[in-house]
Structure 1
């Protein structure tokens, strides 16, 4: 929420209480002035031959002063209570929102109005935190549901194939064995991808210096046969891009990006270009590939778990739907960013920005 700059809460409290004490002091002085004037004669002063006792003045002034101070104390307590309640009312709203969040209600927002100060910034930060937590919880729910579905599918296929084999004991089971092998391999790949995703999310790795340019060259050399199989030209260019992180995870990040760029490409004479560099204290990796034009709404969902770009995927290589999700998780675990955008003329441009190493 955009706000104009206002007075700080500390200054407002200081001005409020100081102003109230000033009013109380003025009232006190006025009371003293009024009562003392009663003992000042109207005419010219003549030194009396008889000096009045101070007890007369005390008897006349002290009870009234005590009553005035008592009244000021009551007014000060009531006024201070009202002022503090008014100034700290936003904290009550923040506390109520925190209680609702603790009870599981993440959709509630404070939405504190007014100019920007310490309390409004606290409320806005709390609202942003609730929004992030709610989004992460919803993402975890979708991930759990999708993972259960993806894991159930190969098990259901395996059960069906075994039932067919049990009912047809005299048939040739060579084809059945091949299918079971394929389904089992897919289940293993999915499980390994889930484990890798969990490892990246937990950030349970030792950080070391990794040059993304060397990782890109290593991955390009490894995946060159796959690129030749799909008639894709694989190019790697750029400068040194030292980053700080897990060598295994960062190599996996580059591998997933280049692999996806190869298999999700033009049917023939496609191109994959990998560029690395160092920009404003950040290590940058860019992977671009040719292909059909992509819908921006589709591109925005590609990094979600089990989201596949069905408009650009090959029938014989649909993967497990976790490639870009793993890349996003690895980038986030390294305090980096993953940016996806469709290329002009078709294809996808993926940019990974990581904190630079020493």
Structure 2
């Protein structure tokens, strides 16, 4: 925004300090004049000649005093204004540094808590969150490019092989191309769903999380039985407000993730819902390998998996928990993954209760 250049805040504060000091000095001199000339004194008789003499003697003293107050007010006000505004200058320099693209700089203003230091601390917190968000977006862009490029590269390789060998089995080629294409479509749909959830472009209505948990469990039961995983569902009615399709997708993603990333044999998944006075909770926990706390904190980032980046038959596209977190935040809730002491993961979704 273009603005005309005006006087600095330091100059304004200096003039304000000086003006106040001059006004206080003028009032003090006026009070002294009244005291000397107008107030009756015991044992003294003020004659007109005496008042004229006092006026002649008082005027130079008053002029010198006001001149001293003016010079002292300008110098002292300029110095004090500089000391007061020094923290603001540091905040301004940090803002310019951040605007140039460097988000790693922090103000770290020393001293006791006051308005300037509260502003500096809030700015440092904002820079930290912004730096983490930008880093996450960069990782997302790099991973998305890699994930989208992989199926295209595989398809190109398969077509090159078929072109070089016309007698190659076309049935096998078509099957592999279909698998690669399906994965590319799943990835594209996941990215579109992620974008839709971030934009919050959906209608809200009353939804019961316990019914969604039962529906997700029934849908994924064949997958769980095929992998030797048992699913247990229970809890209270948990009414909230939001998009039924998105919240169902959230629940499906959590349950699917719990089934896939489980023990090779004898795995368990427990889905529970809880209703409280201020909100409702959906908890999905599973058995499995031990997960470190640092890794658990990054599982909600796009294209992050609890295991190595190996695509199994149900490995997904690495966006399950990222989509779940985005859907949760779009519904004004929180999603928290926590490692279980005995292995596996516990994911807790907290949403506002329906009014």
The answer to whether the 8 A contact 2:25-2:69 is kept is no
| Matches of 1:298 and 1:338, distance apart in 2 | 15
**1:256 matches 2:284:** no
The answer to whether the 8 A contact 2:29-2:62 is kept is no
Match of 1:169 among 157, 166, 180: 166
| Matches of 1:205 and 1:176, distance apart in 2 | 40
**1:160 matches 2:157:** yes
| Matches of 1:51 and 1:259, distance apart in 2 | 104
| Matches of 1:313 and 1:290, distance apart in 2 | 20
CA shift at 1:313, angstroms?
7.9
TM-score where L is the length of structure 1: 0.85
> Which residue of structure 2 aligns with residue 239 of structure 1?
236
> Which residue of structure 2 aligns with residue 351 of structure 1?
348
CA shift at 1:158, angstroms?
0.3
Q: How does 1:159-308 map to 2 (within 5 A)?
A: 159-308=156-305
CA shift at 1:111, angstroms?
0.7
> Which residue of structure 2 aligns with residue 4 of structure 1?
none
What SS does the aligned partner of 1:286 have?
strand
| Matches of 2:202 and 2:192, distance apart in 1 | 14
CA shift at 1:175, angstroms?
0.2
RMSD over aligned Cα, in angstroms? 3.2
The answer to whether the 8 A contact 1:291-1:312 is kept is no
Structure 2 CA distance for partners of 1:194 and 1:51, relative to 1, 3 Å: closer
| Matches of 1:51 and 1:331, distance apart in 2 | 89
Greater mean alpha carbon deviation, residues 53-62 or residues 161-170:
53-62
Unmatched segments (≥5 aa) in structure 1: 1-12
What count of residue pairs does the alignment treat as equivalent? 337
What SS does the aligned partner of 1:88 have?
helix
The answer to whether the 8 A contact 1:31-1:65 is kept is no
> Which residue of structure 2 aligns with residue 10 of structure 1?
none
Partner deviation per Cα, 1:233-282 (whole Å, 9 max, x = no partner): 11110112122222221111101000111112222332211000123512
